[in-house]
């Protein structure tokens, strides 16, 4: 039983978000909310396209606006049809307020948010993670599933564990929220950056935790720098893996100097990421 929010850009409908969201919301009692983000500063045309010899032409503006409205209506229709075909209980929200603020309010009252990694809410192309995504990930109140632009079925779960509270929190949330298929392999990945091994007590506790929550999981420990180690390990995977990580808890200021692991993964990999943080 879950309430899942799928966030869409009405002008660039992401089929992949739709596919992943409906994969998660297929249980009968689940509810899927399609949030179509609109921001009055955001449209598909550029302002200088409106300008001709006499200044801004009202006819041109009207025709462009009508075109945008039609694209948005079509996106909503696509969502509704897909939900009906898959027999998913759904509702639709079109918000004309500032996009990010509305979406953050939604995350307070939902269990999981699904969004495309390339969502920018601008017509400029930005490399992932866009400024919009960074703001969203640092302020979200529910776990977020960041999906690649192309849908592939999930064949493996990889849980990143760095010994810190946020990573364990993310793993707990993943366990509570994700209806997993039984036969999918689960791997817990830990990277030892320095020579210091995991605290003996922590090791016992995480093993006990895994035994109760993920009895069939595998525990992999790598040595070396965390970021490159994780990326090369993830690139080696033959299966399409879903990566679980806690992120973005560090203060904004420290993020200017060092990127969060989630940023690095978004830049380098094309895998769905389950991101949760507890503050």
Partner 1 sequence: MIKILVALDCRVINLRTIDFACFMARLTHSKLIGIFLEEREFEKTPTRKIVLGQPYIETIVASDIPGNEARQKTMLENIHVFKDACENRGIPTGSRVADGIPATEIVRETRFADVLIVDATTSFSNKPEASPTDFVKEILTRSECPVIIAPESDGIIGEIIFPCDYSRSAATAIKHFSYLFPEFGNKKLTVLEVKKEETKPDADVGRLNEWLAVHYQNAVYVSLKGDPTDEIFAYLLKRDNIMAVMGSYGRSSLSRLFRPSHAELVTKTMTRPLFISHD
How far is it, in rounded angstroms, from Cα 47 to Cα 55? 11
How far is it, in rounded angstroms, from Cα 49 to Cα 44? 11
Is residue 190 within 8 Å of 222, Cβ to Cβ? yes
Instruction: Give 61 or 98: the residue with its C-beta nearer to partner 1.
Output: 98
String marking each residue 54-93 x if it binds partner 1 according to CB under 8 A: -------------------------------------x--
How far is it, in rounded angstroms, from Cα 150 to Cα 158? 19
User: Per rule CB under 8 A, is residue 206 in the interface with partner 1?
Assistant: yes
User: Per rule CB under 8 A, is residue 250 in the interface with partner 1?
Assistant: no
String marking each residue 15-54 x if it binds partner 1 according to CB under 8 A: --------------xxx-x---------------------
User: Per rule CB under 8 A, is residue 113 in the interface with partner 1?
Assistant: no
Query: Site for partner 1 (CB under 8 A): how many residues?
Result: 32
The DSSP bridge partners found for residue 127 are none
How far is it, in rounded angstroms, from Cα 53 to Cα 64? 18
Task: Kindly tell me which residue out of 111, 119, 162, 263 binds partner 1, with binding defined by CB under 8 A.
Answer: 111
Q: What's the closest the beta carbon of residue 67 comes to partner 1, in angstroms?
A: 31
State the distance between the two ends of the chain, measured CA to CA, in whole angstroms. 24
User: Per rule CB under 8 A, is residue 216 in the interface with partner 1?
Assistant: no
Tally Cβ neighbours within 10 Å of residue 27.
Answer: 12
Cα torsion 119, 125, 127, 133: sign:
negative
The number of residues making up the chain comes to 279
Question: Virtual CA dihedral for 194, 196, 200, 201, nearest 10 degrees?
Answer: -70
User: Candidates 10-18, 38-46, 68-76, 109-117 — which segment interacts with partner 1 by CB under 8 A?
Assistant: 109-117
Q: What's the closest the beta carbon of residue 70 comes to partner 1, in angstroms?
A: 28
What tokens were used for 153? Answer: 């079925």
User: Per rule CB under 8 A, is residue 181 in the interface with partner 1?
Assistant: no
Is residue 37 within 8 Å of 17, Cβ to Cβ? no
Distance of CA 62 to the CA centre of its chain: 35
Task: Kindly tell me which residue out of 1, 47, 52, 251 binds partner 1, with binding defined by CB under 8 A.
Answer: 1
User: Per rule CB under 8 A, is residue 153 in the interface with partner 1?
Assistant: no
Residues lying near partner 1 in the complex (CB under 8 A) are found at 1-3, 29-31, 33, 91, 105-106, 108-111, 141-142, 165, 168-169, 172, 176-177, 201-202, 205-206, 208-209, 212-213, 278-279
């Amino acid at each position: 039983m879950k309430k899942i929010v799928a966030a869409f850009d009405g002008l660039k409908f992401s089929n992949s978000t739709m596919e992943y969201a409906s994969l998660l919301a297929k249980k009968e009692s689940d509810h899927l909310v399609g949030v179509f983000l609109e921001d009055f500063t955001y449209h598909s045309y550029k302002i200088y396209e409106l300008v001709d010899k006499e200044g801004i032409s009202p006819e041109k503006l009207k025709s462009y606006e009508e075109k945008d409205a039609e694209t948005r209506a079509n996106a909503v229709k696509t969502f509704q049809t897909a939900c009906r075909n898959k027999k998913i209980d759904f509702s639709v929200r079109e918000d004309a307020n500032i996009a990010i603020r509305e979406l953050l309010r939604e995350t307070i009252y939902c269990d999981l948010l699904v969004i495309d990694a390339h969502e920018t809410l601008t017509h400029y192309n930005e490399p992932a993670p866009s400024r919009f995504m960074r703001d969203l990930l640092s302020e979200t109140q529910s776990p977020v599933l960041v999906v690649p632009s192309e849908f592939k079925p999930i064949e493996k779960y990889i849980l990143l564990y760095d010994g810190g509270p946020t990573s364990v929190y993310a793993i707990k949330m993943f366990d509570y929220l994700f209806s997993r298929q039984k036969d999918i392999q689960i791997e817990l990945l830990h990277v030892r950056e320095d020579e210091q091994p995991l605290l003996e007590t922590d090791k016992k506790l995480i093993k006990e935790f895994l035994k109760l929550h993920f009895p069939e999981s595998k525990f992999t420990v790598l040595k070396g720098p965390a970021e490159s180690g994780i990326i090369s390990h993830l690139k080696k995977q033959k299966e399409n893996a879903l990566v679980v990580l806690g992120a973005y808890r560090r203060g904004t200021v420290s993020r200017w100097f060092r990127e969060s692991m989630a940023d690095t993964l978004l830049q380098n990999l094309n895998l769905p990421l389950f991101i949760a943080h507890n503050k």
